[in-house]
A = this chain, B = another copy of it.
């Protein structure tokens, strides 16, 4: 621990995000990650330093609101997103073991580990303090991983580690909006002073209108902070996490809803939270209807009065990735 760390109130809203796709080398179609007992997930989460607060499910997905962000389990995909000082990387080895032992998948089809640069890296556990060390840790578990940084490495940037294999070939897409320096008025909604519970905050903020028809599991933390998982059919989800405190306000929006263009969705999210800055990433593989969605963003030097500062693309074997960074003009 650094001298002075923890003296000032601070919470690192910035999440670590892990997505792992499993497969069976003998093509056993009966395997399902949801058959794994909750007790094993709880053991896993103890290593990460977070706990399950709430659970919801539909026919294709189990979704958990955690003390620090969220976990999603579908038949062959595991997603863990954790903020604060959690130690997400410590979950990977036990995850692979639990999945092989209690479910039967014997192969990892793809892995995505990503995060924005932390606001205060020195306050993280040693294994998460810098991306190079995280990559060394990941390389102990996966043989053919590639590590990238997008954006300005001397300012805000976003890191990605992914496998260099054939990857997921069925339609898949993920959009993330990571936002900070948010509108104080909007952020006040996510305090127990203004809202009486998660449901109230979801309604007051307009989160319920971002994607209609979502089965929502929301939670308002005491005295402030908010998390929600929203379920849709066929393994689709949205998840939102909010650190509302001025000085280190942070909101993340993530979804895998397939859309040919995300422009309207992006505008709705921005209107809901009004960040000072945001970072947008869109992953879409070749089979996804979102595979051309980046073309609608490429020439956009402004979105909703925000000015683009950086725009990068990466082409992987199966996926196309877009990274864009926007700031609101200082008036």
A→B interface (CB under 8 Å): 131-132, 135, 139, 145-149, 151-155, 164, 298, 308-315
Asked if A314 and B314 sit within 8 Å, CB to CB, the answer is no
Most buried by B among A135, A155, A298, A315: A315
Dominant SS at the A interface? Answer: strand
Q: In the complex, given contacts A146-B152, A148-B153, what are 4 additional A-B residue pairs having Cβ atoms less than 8 angstroms apart?
A: A147-B154, A148-B149, A149-B153, A310-B315
Asked if B147 and A135 sit within 8 Å, CB to CB, the answer is no
Instruction: Note all chain B residues with C-beta closer than 8 A to A155.
Output: 146
Each complex incorporates copies of this chain amounting to 2
- 7 A-B pairs closest in CB distance: A311-B315, A147-B154, A146-B152, A313-B313, A147-B153, A312-B314, A135-B154
Asked if A135 and B148 sit within 8 Å, CB to CB, the answer is no
Instruction: Note all chain B residues with C-beta closer than 8 A to A151.
Output: 148
Instruction: Note all chain B residues with C-beta closer than 8 A to A132.
Output: 153
Instruction: Note all chain B residues with C-beta closer than 8 A to A131.
Output: 153
Instruction: Note all chain B residues with C-beta closer than 8 A to A311.
Output: 314-315
Q: What are 30 sample pairs from A and B whose C-beta atoms fall under 8 A apart? A: A131-B153, A132-B153, A135-B153, A135-B154, A139-B154, A145-B154, A146-B152, A146-B154, A146-B155, A146-B310, A147-B152, A147-B153, A147-B154, A148-B149, A148-B152, A148-B153, A148-B312, A149-B149, A149-B153, A164-B309, A298-B315, A308-B315, A310-B314, A310-B315, A311-B314, A311-B315, A312-B312, A312-B313, A312-B315, A313-B313
